């Protein structure tokens, strides 16, 4: 594998790195340590800058008005975009835009006009409603939200849990079981994806679910005799899980890359502190225990970087990359958590305070070992390929 950056990729990395260091990080000095949004004027100014750089909507295909960057370049950008305090909650505070719900690239032209294009222009917000209270690690079998057709409408009943941004969204992609054979145990077939406007009667945001994050993030929603027009079915009836699964696999690569970014920054901070801090008459960097912690950090960082770029290059070649993406997600989330933990230990009491971003990254990385599929599911994905898919 050749992971040497092209001249263009190096220019992009340098540009994003400079943007984060010079434009994003200084603004955080005046924000609450757990802030998730910028002042509207600052946000608008930075969006104008990313548009001028040609990076706004960096993960949007060229045919939809984006820069059409390959997966490897997007992963490299994600590594840089996360290297600030809120980098794992909202990289660069959303000033690079994004594809949002990429499943809408497969929508009908009418659906694109109503939902995709307004989302890409920043006029609408969507949310992804897959996980249910009955379980999230095996969503294909755990889905108990039911939908049945009534004339030219579908009627949905059920609930979803840990849904990001449903309380602010204009519409949701809702996955419901629509087959009658086997009910909730029917497996991944028999699930349909619906585009549901959040002001639809029967759509209810029950509560905001408070997690390790200090900001509002997850929600619980329910559907009570909610009627959805048949033209709002996304893709084919009973084939909606394939849409969800594609998102889960592809998203794992930039998801992993963001984790690596904060690990790299945490290591830089730990090295600088170890060289500066003196205890018992010598610098921390002179102590073998600290040296070994920094070496272990470097091993974790290089391992994660290799897995991420290997997965990204496989995706760019249109090779099978599900196992590689699973490995990248698993390795990066777990390794980055270890790196940040060691960096906190090296900083001592200071590492536990909100004076530094380490404690926020620590919390965010703990969440990321579960988000986009927990570590155990990533191991299951890899095991199935290793064993030839004959073991469940």
Strand partners, 226: 156
- CA distances 365 to 93, 181, 216, 296, Å, are 17, 39, 17, 18
Domain chopping of the chain, boundaries: 7-104, 126-234, 242-386
Pick the CATH number of 126-234 from 2.40.110.10, 3.30.70.260, 3.30.160.270, 3.40.120.10: 2.40.110.10
pLDDT at 185: 44
pLDDT at 102: 82
Q: pLDDT tens digits, the chain, 392 residues: what are they?
A: 778 999 999 999 999 999 999 999 999 999 999 999 999 999 999 999 999 999 998 888 888 888 889 999 999 999 999 999 999 989 999 999 876 788 898 899 999 999 999 998 888 999 999 999 887 666 667 789 999 999 999 999 999 999 988 999 999 999 999 986 654 445 567 999 999 999 999 999 999 998 887 666 789 999 999 999 999 999 999 988 887 776 677 789 999 999 999 999 999 999 999 999 999 999 999 999 999 999 999 999 999 999 999 999 999 999 999 999 999 999 999 999 999 999 999 999 999 999 999 999 999 999 999 988 899 999 999 999 899 865 55
Element (H, E) at 328: helix 322-347
Closest CA to 273 of 260, 262, 287: 287
- C-alpha 68/C-alpha 105 separation (Å) is 13
Same fold, 7-104 and 242-386: no
Pick the CATH number of 242-386 from 1.20.140.10, 3.40.640.10, 3.40.630.30, 3.10.450.50: 1.20.140.10
Catalytic residues: 372
φ and ψ at residue 274, rounded to 5 degrees: -65, -35
What topology does CATH give the domain 7-104?
Answer: Butyryl-Coa Dehydrogenase, subunit A; domain 1 (1.10.540)
pTM: 0.91
Q: Do 91 and 258 touch, CB atoms closer than 8 A?
A: yes
φ and ψ at residue 167, rounded to 5 degrees: -75, -15
Strand partners, 361: none
pLDDT at 247: 66
């Amino acid at each position: 594998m050749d992971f040497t950056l092209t001249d263009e990729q190096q220019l992009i990395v340098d540009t994003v790195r400079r943007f984060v260091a010079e434009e994003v990080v200084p603004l955080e000095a005046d924000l609450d340590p757990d802030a998730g949004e910028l002042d509207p004027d600052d946000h608008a100014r930075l969006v104008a800058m990313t548009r001028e750089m040609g990076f706004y909507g960096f993960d949007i295909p060229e045919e939809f008005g984006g820069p059409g960057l390959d997966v490897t370049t997007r992963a490299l950008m994600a590594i840089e975009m996360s290297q600030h305090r809120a980098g794992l909650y909202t990289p660069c505070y959303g000033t690079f835009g994004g594809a949002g719900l990429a499943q809408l690239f497969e929508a009908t032209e009418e659906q694109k006009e109503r939902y995709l294009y307004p989302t890409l222009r920043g006029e609408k917000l969507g949310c992804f409603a897959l996980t249910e209270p009955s379980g999230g690690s095996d969503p294909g079998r755990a889905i108990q939200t039911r939908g049945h057709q009534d004339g030219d409408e579908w009627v949905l009943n059920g609930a979803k849990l840990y849904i990001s941004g449903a309380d602010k969204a204009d519409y949701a992609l809702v996955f419901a079981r629509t087959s009658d054979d086997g009910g909730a145990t029917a497996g991944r077939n028999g699930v349909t994806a619906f585009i549901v406007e959040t002001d639809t009667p029967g759509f209810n945001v029950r509560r905001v679910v408070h997690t390790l994050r200090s900001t509002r993030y997850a929600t619980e929603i329910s559907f009570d005799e909610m009627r959805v027009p048949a033209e709002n079915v996304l893709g084919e009836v009973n084939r909606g899980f394939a849409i969800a699964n594609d998102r889960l696999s592809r998203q794992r690569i930039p998801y992993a890359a963001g984790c690596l970014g904060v690990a790299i920054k945490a290591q830089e901070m730990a090295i600088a502190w170890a060289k500066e801090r003196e205890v018992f008459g010598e610098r921390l960097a002179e102590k073998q225990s600290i040296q070994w912690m920094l070496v272990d950090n470097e091993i974790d960082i290089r391992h994660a970087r290799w897995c991420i770029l290997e997965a990204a290059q496989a995706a760019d070649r249109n090779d099978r990359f599900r196992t590689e993406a699973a490995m990248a997600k698993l390795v990066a989330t777990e390794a980055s958590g270890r790196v940040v933990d060691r960096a906190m230990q090296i900083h001592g009491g200071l590492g536990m305070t909100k004076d530094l971003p380490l404690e926020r990254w620590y919390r965010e990385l703990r969440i990321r070992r579960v988000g986009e599929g927990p570590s155990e599911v990533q191991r299951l994905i890899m095991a199935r390929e290793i064993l030839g898919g004959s073991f469940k």
